[in-house]
Amino acid sequence: MLDLLLPPRCGGCRRVGAWLCDLCRARIRRLDEPLCRRCGVELPSARRDCGCRARLRSLARLRSAVAYEGPVEPAVQRFKYEGWQRLAAPLAQLIGERLAIEGLAGRWVIAVPLHPERLRQRGYNQAELLARDLRQRMRLSSPKGELVRTRPTPPQVGRDRLRRFENVSGAFAWRGGRLAGESILLVDDVATTGATLDACANALRAAGSGPVTGVSIARVNV
C-alpha cells in the first residue's frame, strides 16, 4: 500500500520504480582484483597486502562490496543523511553478495554505533539498518549487549589517515556479557582507512570476541 501511495524511487538516479534500479545496478563498479588479502583495498599490482597490518590491529579482515563512486555514492548519501531508510535492503544485498563470493560469515552481526546525540539528530543508525537486513538474509543474530560509542567524535571526512585513527581511538566499548570467542561481522556504510571499524573491533576483542570481520557497502581508495 505504501509503495502504491509513495512509489519507490531509485537512490542512485531518482527514477521511479525501484529503490535501486536495474540501470544503476549495472553501473555499480565491483572492486577489482588484486585486493589486499587483509583490508580489501584495490592494489596496483598482485602483491599480497598493502602494509595495513600495522594500522589495523584488531580487525581480522575488512571487505567492501563496491567502489564508492557512480550511483552508489548518491544512494549512500540519501540513505545516510536524507532519511531514505528503504535503501537498506538493496544496499545490504550488495554486502551479502560480496560475503557470499568471499565465503565469509560470522556467528553474530553487529553495527558500528552512533553516539546518542548523533542518533537523536538523525533519527536512525544507518549501519544498524544494514546489519538488521543482513541478519535476516544470513539467518544470524546479535549477542546480548550492545556496542556503544562512548564519546562524540567529529566526522572523519577531510582527515588524513593518522588523524582518522586518532579521532576514534578508545571511542567504543562493549556493554554486555563476554563474547565467548565468537566470530563477528561488523557492519558500516562506507570504509576509507578502516579506522572506525578497527576501533570498534578493538572494543569487541577486549570483550572476548573471536575474529572480527569488517564489512561495508562501499570502499573509498586512499
Report the pLDDT value the prediction gives residue 141, as an integer from 0 to 100: 92
Hey, is 35 helix, strand or coil?
strand
Residues 6+ apart with CB under 8 A from 94: 28, 65, 66, 72, 217
- Ranking 59-63, 69-73, 162-166, 216-220 by mean pLDDT, the lowest is 162-166
The DSSP bridge partners found for residue 219 are: 67, 191
Report the pLDDT value the prediction gives residue 158, as an integer from 0 to 100: 56
The DSSP bridge partners found for residue 16 are: 9
What's the pTM? 0.91
Q: What is the mean pLDDT of residues 93-110?
A: 93
Q: Which three cell numbers stand for residue 119?
A: 542518533
DSSP letters along 97-121, please? HHHHHHT---SEEEEPPPPHHHHHH
Contact between 63 and 33 under an 8 Å Cβ cutoff? The reply is: no
Type and span of the H or E element at 150: none
Q: Which fold has domain 31-44+59-219?
A: Rossmann fold (3.40.50)
Contact between 147 and 204 under an 8 Å Cβ cutoff? The reply is: yes
pLDDT digits (tens, 9 = 90+) for 151-187: 877 666 656 566 777 778 888 999 999 999 999 999 9
Model confidence at 52, pLDDT cuts 50, 70, 90, reads confident
| CA angle in degrees (0–180, nearest 5) for 60-179-182 | 50
Distance CA 205, CA 207 (A): 5
Mean pLDDT in the chain?
Answer: 90
- The C-alpha cell 545516510 sits at 80
Contact between 217 and 72 under an 8 Å Cβ cutoff? The reply is: yes
Domain definitions of the chain by residue range: 31-44+59-219
Distance CA 116, CA 33 (A): 38
